[in-house]
Amino acid sequence: MVYYFNRFRRPAIRFAQGKKWGEGMSGEEIKIGIDKELNLKGKICPYTFIETMLTLEEMEPEEVLRVIVDYPPAACEVPQSLKNEGYEILEVRPMNGTDWVIIVKNKEIE
């Protein structure tokens, strides 16, 4: 599956990703192969993070997971918690008025 997204992000989310404002914000569309989707609409923290982590644990190394959340704090907290656990966050952005998309890459082999 190929997922297209815009690299222009909100400052708060970019901060959570540890990037400075302006960095990588060319606005061009790039594409990333998505290996798995996880719909967490209706779920709140910390279950959003836990279910994301459980899904990643079952995926192959370096596979990419696309997560949809609609609990606003999850858009910041899930990427931050995943980063703390050593996962690479590829993208965080709002999809529409209610949902956010988080794209995360699984760890290399431990």
Partner 1 sequence: MKFSDEQIHRYSRQMILPGIGGKGQRKLMEAKVLIMGAGGLGSPAAIYLAAAGVGTIGLADFDRVELHNLQRQILHKTDDLGRLKVESGRETVESLNPEVKVQTYSDRIVSANIREIIKGYDLVLDGSDNFPTRFLVNDACYFERKTLISGAILRFDGQLSTFKPHAGGPCYRCLFPEPPPPGMVPSCQEAGVLGAVAGVIGILQANEALKEILGLGESMAGRFLMFNALNLSFHEVKIAKNSNCPLCGENPTIKELIEYLQVCQA
The answer to the question of residue 49 lying near partner 1 (CB under 8 A) is yes
The answer to the question of residue 51 lying near partner 1 (CB under 8 A) is yes
- Tell the smallest beta-carbon distance from residue 12 to partner 1 (Å): 22
Question: Residues binding partner 1: what is the number (CB under 8 A)?
Answer: 12
Neighbouring CB atoms inside 10 A of 49's CB total 22
Q: Give 49's contacts (C-beta < 8 A, 6+ positions apart).
A: 74, 77, 78, 81, 82
- Tell the smallest beta-carbon distance from residue 94 to partner 1 (Å): 24
Is 76 part of the annotated catalytic residue set?
A: no
Element (H, E) at 79: helix 72-84
Query: Between 20 and 41, whose beta carbon lies closer to partner 1?
Result: 41
> Phi then psi for 78, rounded to 5 degrees?
-65, -50
Binding residues for partner 1 restricted to 59-88, rule: CB under 8 A: 81, 84-85
User: Would you please indicate which residues are annotated as catalytic (active-site) residues?
Assistant: 45
